A and B are shown apart, each in its own frame.
Chain A
């Protein structure tokens, strides 16, 4: 009994000493890894976390499994593997981007059961899966707050699944930050135009025109877009004048 008590006290003393060391050196841990609070492992991903740098490679293999399940239209396996992928490697935009598209646009067809379901049921399923995809993308944006691709994905889902152009416009605007490439600016301008804000669309295109490479082939289309909007606004003015 005395021996066990001695062992217990020794373990207790060792734990107390380690806790003291841990407390005293915790400020060093905060300096060494300041952004660590953003990273969280889920249940299954924690088992793979010990593999350290191999996590990304494992995530790629898991994605292949998800892809095989996608080919068979296996809803549960496909989604659970996608979840594992993003838990293992939350910084990979491709997993979030493709995963959200699968959830929003592919899984409803698997759930319709060959298109026999009534239109109202199909619409309800589409909206439910769309909401799931938006929630999925929200988590992706927490891990990758600067990703334009994920913001555009949200815009596309709002537009195509929910037919909510104003919400889509908000996400197009969020993606259209300083330094956004030509196609993102044009997409945002298109959405502004669809929302009946052609003047704002033109202002946006004109304000960003100076920041693009003028020798790039897509710049011609950009100028064409400006021209078309100017003509549209002018013809609207002329109509009002008449």
Chain B
């Protein structure tokens, strides 16, 4: 456990130094804060929902980019710099190496998610204050309510999704030979998982159903945006949480298996 922690700590430190990640984080935070202004161009959306969607967009889109790019860069920097060979020559197992790398990425993703959530809370709070000044008659379906606990749970589930995407990228990295290929392949699998490929297929058949099961369905995490306005549905929360955790461990085990048969 100490070894995993040490590798994770080192990976997280390295992740902080990545300029690309800082740039994406800055863009995500700026765009989230920009949602108040973007609302002026909006047509027909409920204002609080529109603002919350900007936070979800920053977490979902930029978060997926950070997850994939960071995982691939951290993984390949160890292999290309030959530090992985030095590390694995010591009493460090491949599981500890892969788990440490993933934990390091997860730490960086936690900071990313927290920064975006805090940035998203500002326009949400301001929009709610603005709506609070309007009379009740302005709201046909009743005054929209904002649940901060739901917002926190939504953020946590999005974080679980990002870690699962990172674990998926870890598997692609462990199995592939070049970083560019790993990044492209990870993005493709990630897009299929986020969009939910089941949306594109119809019909049935064993092979098609089996193919649909191979790619995880990360679209289920989008449902959690409803927690911000309607409160947390704990059954849905735990189902999504365990779904994410199961995939994180499945991808981790497969990554270790793929990495074990790889020449460093």
Binding site for B on A (CB under 8 A): 10-11, 14-15, 17-26, 28-29, 31-36, 39-41, 46, 49-57, 60-61, 63-64, 89, 92-95, 181
**CB-CB nearest in chain A for B52:** A53
Q: A50-B191, A53-B59 are in contact. List 4 more A-B contacts (CB 8 A).
A: A52-B56, A55-B57, A57-B53, A61-B41
Output the residue of A25, A51, A61, A92 with the most chain B CB within 10 A: A25
Given the known interface contacts A28-B239, A53-B56, A95-B44, the answer about A22 and B213 at a Cβ–Cβ threshold of 8 Å is yes
The interface residues of chain B lying within 8 Å CB-to-CB of A32 are 220-221, 223, 236, 239-240, 243
Q: Is the CB of B56 within 8 A of A46?
A: no
Minimal beta-carbon separation of B33 from chain A (angstroms): 14
8 contacts between A and B (CB under 8 A): A10-B261, A14-B258, A41-B195, A46-B200, A53-B61, A55-B53, A60-B42, A95-B44
- Which residue of A34, A50, A60, A64 contacts B45 across the interface (Cβ within 8 Å)? A60
B247 within 8 A of partner (CB): yes
> In the complex, how many residues of chain B place their beta carbon closer than 8 angstroms to a beta carbon of chain A?
55
Given the known interface contacts A29-B220, A39-B199, A46-B200, the answer about A21 and B247 at a Cβ–Cβ threshold of 8 Å is yes
The interface residues of chain B lying within 8 Å CB-to-CB of A19 are 210-211, 213-214
The interface residues of chain B lying within 8 Å CB-to-CB of A93 are 44
**CB-CB nearest in chain A for B200:** A46
Minimal beta-carbon separation of B96 from chain A (angstroms): 21
The interface residues of chain A lying within 8 Å CB-to-CB of B64 are 50
Q: Is the CB of B222 within 8 A of A52?
A: yes
Give 8 closest A-B pairs by Cβ, nearest first.
A94-B44, A22-B213, A53-B56, A52-B60, A53-B57, A54-B57, A31-B239, A32-B240
